[in-house]
A and B are shown apart, each in its own frame.
Chain A
Amino acid sequence: MAIDVRRLEAGQVIDGFHLVEPLDPGGMANFWRVTKPGLDLPMVMKIPLLRPGEDPITIIGFEAEQMIMARLTGPHVPRFVAAGDFESPYVVMEFIDGRPLRSLLPHMPCAAEEVAEIGIQVAFALDDLHRQNVLHLDVKPSNIILRPNGIAALIDYGLSHHTLLPDLIGEEIDGPVGTAPYVAPEQVLGDRFEPRSDIFALGVVMYFLVTGERPFGDPQRAPEWRHRLWRDPHPPRHWNKAVPPWLQEAILRCLEVDPDARYATAAQLAFDLKNPDQMVLTERARRLRRDGAMTVLLRRLASRRLKYVRRVRHQPALTRAPIIAVAVDLSPQAEALDGPLRQAVMRVLATEPAARLACVNVLKTARIGLDPMEDAQGRNPHLQRLVELRHWAHTLPIDPDRVTFHVLEDTDPARALVEFGLNSRIDHIVMGARGSSTMRRFLGSVSAQVVAQARCTVTVVRAPQTGLAIGEPGALQLGTDSDLGG
């Protein structure tokens, strides 16, 4: 049955979906709240406006969205429910009853803390999308919805690219595709394989929210999109003195013209925004004005040789720049593990040059909130642990701007590590096994619990055991005791 978009009305039924009420129309489609017996999630039907002579982006974008949305999962994407056929094109997806980021625009400039929190949530959403091999390529306030629990969902995959599937938009459209204020410089030059384009767009969103100004304006003609190749934006503090230097650092790093100068992954951006006190501030944080006319002119001349060329990569560009966490036990009993743990971390760092390292120690508390701020000697145990952690890491071969230090306080060390791994999107936890099996027997195995519950890779390091041969008691205890470590 062909759908006549001009004659849709409440009560109408399309392929079993009952039209309830129309929502705000988007530029290229009509949206209706729908229900279907047997499906009890809130749903929205998107019906594209496919008129004869319609812009190919609308037609192909709808096809691309169907193709990509059906393959995405998780809380950052509206759940795909159904798609119509060739004759009656529509997509039915989960209706996300949240706060569209667009609704914040009248309240700009927003507080730095709020913008950072939004930045973290959108970066988590992008990280999740990128891990599913999808680049959104049209990140902007109207495509971001904050769920009631604070999690960000990204909608509208009409310009997106799944790097393992044919790039329908890239094949169809000759020339750059995107939304003028948000499109990344490399998109302007024809690259649709760059996940860090989404990080650029998120930088524009954060800049806009915290200053009320768009960093590159809203150029109406596509040739003007090129200006962002040479014209740097005013630093956010130029507009809003209340922007803290660390947030300016993060935003301007997202807005770097060269993708290599941006954050390597969205997870790393989120990590910085979550730990502003540990960010290494560069000249970006202190910048007060944009570059002078001569610098800009030279950049403009240099960029003349950059032409639009459609770039196709056979290998997906989703570089994995992982975040590694090492759980360091600072107690005297763990000294034997110190060398092996350090070695294990160095091995991982050697194979992952872009990795970041989070050094973690758990301060075990009796009960949350009841422990004294000082110990018997008048020292703050939290600060003391931080000092010791820094000392532990100072000989590791890694740039200081890629290491952070975290003392977690919890009654349950394993739970603290698992939660830290989840909340900071850690890719790999390296930790020691508690040595003595008697201790393990009474206290339970921290590493076994982390191995069982963490969502990421976990390496458990042991101190070398000497003088044991296979067959001796204590040499092989698999099956008698949890031998995943103590």
Chain B
Amino acid sequence: MTRHTRLIMQMVYWAFVLYLFIPLSLMVLMGFKDSKFIGFPIKSLTLHWYKVVIQDLELMSVFAYSFTIAISSTVLAIIIGTWAAMLLSQAKFKGKIIVFALITLPAVLPGIISAIALRIYSQTLGIEPGMTAVILGHTVHNVPFVTLVGMARLNSQPMSHVEAAQDLGADNVISFFRITLPYLTPALVGAGIFCMLTSFDDFVRSFFLGGYEPTLPVYIFSQLRTGMSPEINAISSVVLVITAVMGLAAERLMRRK
């Protein structure tokens, strides 16, 4: 390409970066604004809204509730997803492509449809809306991701290690726990962090599957319907920082060679 088009592309890239960062930066900025009114101009800055958030007991329990759901659904997703990754990358059998498609199906379902289908399904199974339903919903959504990450990592595993272990008398279960699992661990921890973030951030499943107790996004959503407030900015900014730190850590773990 010519120098000219290259320059244009560089500008598009930086414009895109600005498009991504400006709204979030404004949101963080508004969280420090010394007025209940969201918008410009900003006269003075304060930490008041962060104090309000920390002292808000209801909000803290919402945080804890979301966190419990995120941990539980992640643990389940890792177990099932790793199992599926082992099946899809190690075994040879007919119809593998169909099994792969079935296991990764939730990744391509439009959010609202997945949420409604799970809402109906949990009702027919007698699971009332609430924590169990949300955990299962998030697990369904996260398994494909763990499977894909696990498969990618397994593809680079030197088979000689497993063969050596099995020559030394380990059966498949022992060689999995002693050789394959340690090899998978960094990728799985990375995938697990992303699963936690997805669960923590998920709105549509939590909204339709949840009972009266809201997860954090559902709580923010209900607050938003009554109008914007600097408190929401403060909560969102905290979540933003936690998310960025955890995401970067996960990214490092998943790409480690």
Do A and B interact? no
Chain B residues engaging chain A, CB cutoff 8 angstroms? none
